[in-house]
Structure 1
Amino acid sequence: MGRATDAATVLLLLLFTLLPGRTTDARSAPRSIPLGCTGRRIHIRDLPPAFNLGLLSSCSDYAPFLEDFCHYLSDHGLGRPTRPGSVSWHRTDPLALEVLFHRRLLSYPCLSRDPSLADAVFLPYYSSLAALPYLYGSLINSSSSHGLDLFEFLTRDSPEVWRRHDGHDHFLVMARPAWDFSQDPEMDPPLWGTSFLEIPEFRNLTALTLESRTWPWQEHAIPYPTSFHPPDLAALDRWVSRVRLSPRTSLMLFAGGGGSIGSSPNVRRSIRLECEANATDAIDESYERVCNFVDCSNGICEHEPVLYMKPMLKASFCLQPPGDTPTRRSTFDGILAGCIPVFFEDQSARSQYGWHLTDDEFDEFSVTIPKEEVVFKGLKITDVLRKIPREKVEKMKEKVIELIPRIMYRKHESSAGLAAVKDAFDIAIESTLLRIKSRLEGLKIPSSQ
């Protein structure tokens, strides 16, 4: 690790520990809990640095990243600004969500120093960073042991905190799909992933993941972080105004990779074939082209939001096909741009993000086209979208714009005006507290008074 990287890492650690009146754990909580915190009190468990900040010190050596990942951990997980002077746009990596979430919780108004008075206990464990050696490094054949050192600590240090509810009141953030933590611990030889969510020791806690599986009760998906983190209400209002006024010159857009010509039949291949066949055809005076394709192969768009946000602002519909897993960060980038999402299976969003994108309003802001109809029956996506009346398209776009605050993560220490607007973090915390309360009541476990 070079000296510049060392300095950046040290600065990052210092920023976390030298926040005015705050540390990285429960000691950051005020001595008295404000009024209005009944049912909302959270205790941040004090974990050794090896479970969180210590993992940041080797950020320049993270596998399998070809570039220095430290850039994306700066500003407490927001990443570096996209350009000098930018206050709202950052090169945010989804893997940094654990750092971002931890930092936001340090400013949470209802922190409790005393875990016995808390309604929930947060584990500031950077599980996705801790998983890297098991996924790509020297521990790849020991993936069933991921998390056992954390459990040993929780049951050795102040064990009464964990044993009070056997972990039912604990929660953590996992900045990867749950599939990456769900390997059968008995599998020999091990397949992809770790066994963190499969080991009995952690089956009671609540895991906030970027993508959940359909059956385990303890998982719930929360939005991927986008690159937009406004510091105040004015910045949010300016962006919403730009989104609303942006001319939609393309019927639809696909920003992504995969589906190259010659690959086996799949929905991405069908999308690319249809898009390339009539990309420049005009439908009517409303659109200059049918389809716009932004090739994001080999991860070139991952930290360059300008490559896809500008085209998204000019499209009415953004196609969100599944890839290696059903969900995509692009779903939230598209919503941020006011681009109506088109899904091809329920697992891509409808059955994932119920706290932020409720089922009863899903048809008001999105379109679902079964992928089997497209891939095997020749259904043309353009035919489906062309049949939607223009008036309905406008209503759907307005509904998408209404969702923007819900799916963004505002900047930490944002202005009081913006702090009054519930963002993805706020909704996740409120919903987690309700989930834990319901769980304890269902198990007849008394919650904190």
Structure 2
Amino acid sequence: MTAASLIPFFSLIAISLLRAGGADPCSGRYIFIQHLPPRFNRDLLADCAAYPVWQDFCPYKANLGLGPKTHNGTSSWFRTDPYLLEPLFHARMYQYPCLTPDPDLASAVFLPYYASLHSLPFLFGPDQNYSIAHGLDLARLLSDSSVYRRRHGHDYFFVASRTALDFSRPLDSRPDAWGTSLLELPAFFNFTVLVTESRAWPWQEHAVPYPTSFHPSTLSHLHTWLRRVRRSPRPTLMLFAGGATMSPNGPPNIHRSILSQCASTDESICSIADCSRSACDHDPGRYMRPMLRARFCLQPPSDTPTRRSTFDGMIAGCIPVFFEDRSAKSQYDWHMRPEEYREFSVFIAKDEVVWGGLNISRVLMGIGDEEVRRMREKVIEMIPSIIYRGHRSSKSLREEVKDAFDLAVEGVIRKIKHRISNLGVD
């Protein structure tokens, strides 16, 4: 199959109109997909059971990264692994309506590199003491590409379905330091990198939503879910979905404070969806049902500031409660605008809970019913923008709804155009 044969029919029409002097519906939106040898993407899926220290993801690579269906009767719910955003995004790129086989026509270049999967031998395998080597072979390959050399990578982007911290190990760090050095390599300094969690300072990184298990295939399926979310009774004030067991002698932290407060109150005030030992990872029913019954979902930081649970809770219409800005407000501005956070979420500083003894439930009970309804409606309004629709979605869904993928691609193109304009890169 040639690269040109993968270009959507709409793109070919757009190119024909351009050459005929007509209006070009893809003007300023074209993307060129850089070919890579399959060892940088598809072949990596074959090693799905090679790193047992991490997990066996073989059952979850089905349906081009969506995972297997939760049950035979659904076309919208899947057992999606968030670490497989890379093949999911890759599959969606081939459905993008403004692909071009001509790199000179493109506003951006997509690199179909499965960075997270490629990092596994360096993070969990026999090469873990050589993590500074992650990406060197790709960098050498790109150095021979005329498409890469023309703008030194300023118009390139790729997806890495881990936090940026996992790829930010300094090149001069000790051998047992965590992470790989992919984003520290000079060859990738000019790239835009889409990650599930960005750091505060690097301009190259931009956070996109974690994939949830909901991937509607039709507009009707989406609207049916939104109606269910809107009508769902909410007898529980607040819910925490996460690990429910902690060492009795551990240091004070927000996670421990939440568990302590929940243990000392009635379940109608605080409920826990126990996700200890990865029980919830591929079983959306385990947490979606309690989320549908809760008014607020507590989203504390854990090992890193962000959580997939933030997006799971929101698609259930559960109002998120954040305890630090890095958990979402300073992450996902293409999908959730920072100036609107007060309209759909609650912020409680974690230090006030951990050290000040602030009772979370009292804060939430102080929010009036009308305000809660308004916030929930805003959350429901945002659901289409934080989900990744199914690969075989209907024409009406594609045309009427911009999902997380669409907004990410629009954001990438804006970001790259702005950078190239400012740098004067031809």
How far residue 261 of structure 1 moved from its aligned partner, in angstroms, is 5.5
1:349-388 mapped onto 2 (5 Å cutoff): 349-388=328-367
Deviations 1:319-349 (A, max 9, x none): 0000000000000000000000000000000
TM-score normalised by structure 1 residue count: 0.90
d(CA) in 2 for partners of 1:39 and 1:307? 44
The equivalent position to 1:278 in structure 2, one of 250, 255, 265, is: 265
Residues 70 and 333 of structure 1, relative CA distance in 2, 3 Å threshold: same
Aligned-partner residue type, residue 171 of structure 2? P
How far 1:394 moved relative to its partner?
A: 0.3
1:174-189 map, 5 Å: 174-189=160-175
The amino acid of 1:427's aligned partner reads L
8 Å contact from structure 1 (residues 274, 380) kept in 2: yes
Q: TM-score, normalised by structure 2?
A: 0.95
Paired with 2:206 and 2:4, the residues of 1 have a C-alpha distance of 24
C-alpha deviation, 1:279, in angstroms: 2.6
Q: Partner letter of residue 285 of structure 2?
A: V
Aligned to 1:13: none
- The alpha carbon displacement at 1:26 in A equals 5.8
Q: Which one-letter code corresponds to 1:78 in the other structure?
A: L
Q: Secondary structure at the match of 1:341?
A: strand
CA contact (8 A) 1:259 1:267 kept: no
Match of 1:36 among 22, 25, 32: 25
CA contact (8 A) 1:119 1:169 kept: yes
- Aligned-residue offset at 1:84: 1.9
Q: How far is the alpha carbon of 1:107 from its aligned partner?
A: 0.9
Q: Which residue pairs with 1:321 in the alignment?
A: 300
The CA distance in 2 between the partners of 1:410 and 1:228, in whole Å, is 8
Q: CA deviation at 1:65?
A: 4.0
Q: Secondary structure at the match of 1:207?
A: strand
Q: Who is 1:147 aligned against?
A: 135
**Contact in 1 for aligned 2:322/2:347 (Cα 8 Å):** yes
1:422 corresponds to: 402
- Three-state SS of the structure 2 residue aligned to 1:173 is strand
Shift of 1:85: 2.2
Query: In structure 2, what is the equivalent of residue 50 of structure 1?
Result: 39
Cα deviation for residue 413 of structure 1 reads 2.5
Aligned residue identity for 2:108: A
* Aligned mates of 1:62, 1:81 — CA distance in 2: 24
Structure 1 residue corresponding to 2:71, chosen from 77, 83, 87: 83
Q: How does 1:57-206 map to 2 (within 5 A)?
A: 57-67=46-56, 69-156=57-144, 159-206=145-192
1:322-337 aligned within 5 A: 322-337=301-316
Please, what is the CA RMSD of the aligned residues?
1.3
Change in Cα spacing, 1:261 to 1:272, as seen in structure 2 (3 Å) is farther
Instruction: Give the CA deviation at 1:83.
Output: 1.3
Does structure 1 retain, via aligned residues, the 8 Å contact 2:54–2:124?
no
Q: Decide which moves more: 375-384 or 26-35.
A: 26-35
Per-residue Cα deviation, 1:187-212 (whole angstroms, up to 9, x for no partner)? 12241100001111111000000000
Contact 1:258 1:269 in 2 (8 A): no
The structure 2 residue matched to 1:407, chosen from 386, 394, 398, is 386
Instruction: Give unpaired runs (5+ residues) of structure 2.
Output: 15-23
Aligned counterparts of 1:83 and 1:32: Cα–Cα separation in 2: 37
When structure 1 is superposed on structure 2, of 345-354 and 77-86 the one drifting more is 77-86
Counterpart contact for 2:49–2:55, Cα < 8 Å = no
**Identity value in percent:** 54
Structure 2: how far apart are the matches of 1:125 and 1:27?
A: 20
Code of the aligned partner of 2:206: H
**Contact 1:335 / 1:404 at 8 angstroms: preserved in 2?**
yes
CA distance in 2 between partners of 1:352 and 1:439 (Å): 19
**Residues 165 and 250 of structure 1, relative CA distance in 2, 3 Å threshold:** same
The 2-side partners of 1:442 and 1:412 are apart by 36
The secondary structure found in structure 2 opposite 1:377 is: coil
SS at match of 2:49: helix
Deviation at 1:353, TM superposition (A): 0.3
Deviations 1:278-297 (A, max 9, x none): 033xxxxxxxx101111111
Q: Which consecutive segments of 4 or more residues in structure 1 shift more than 4 A?
A: none
SS of 1:113's equivalent?
coil
Q: Do structure 1's residue 268 and structure 2's residue 255 form an aligned pair? A: yes
Is the 8 Å Cα contact of residues 157 and 192 (structure 2) preserved in structure 1? yes
Question: Does structure 2 conserve the Cα–Cα contact (< 8 Å) formed by 1:143 and 1:190?
Answer: no
Mean Cα displacement is larger for which, 333-342 or 141-150? 141-150
2:213 paired residue number: 227
Task: Note closer, same or farther for the CA distance 1:66–1:152 as it changes in structure 2 (3 Å cut).
Answer: closer
Distance 1:369 1:143 in 2: 38
Q: Secondary structure at the residue paired with 1:134? A: helix
| Residue 236 of structure 2 is aligned to residue 250 of structure 1 | yes
Distance 2:372 2:118 in 1: 44
- Residue 71 of structure 1 and its aligned partner are, at CA, apart by 1.5
- Per-residue deviation, residues 198-238 of structure 1 (Å, max 9, x unmatched): 11111100000000000000000000000000100000011
Tell me how far 1:145 sits from its aligned partner: 1.1
Counterpart AA for 2:128: I
Does the CA contact (< 8 Å) of 1:79 and 1:92 recur in 2?
Answer: yes
Task: Determine the C-alpha separation between the residues in 2 that align with 1:45 and 1:33.
Answer: 21
Question: Which of 222, 225, 244 in structure 2 is aligned with 1:239?
Answer: 225
Task: Indicate how the Cα distance of structure 1 residues 410 and 371 shifts in structure 2: closer, same or farther if over 3 A, else same.
Answer: same
Q: Distance in 1 between matches of 2:235 and 2:393?
A: 34
Secondary structure of 2:119's counterpart equals: helix
Q: Aligned residue for 2:376?
A: 397
> Which one-letter code corresponds to 1:435 in the other structure?
K
Deviates more, 1:324-333 or 1:196-205: 196-205
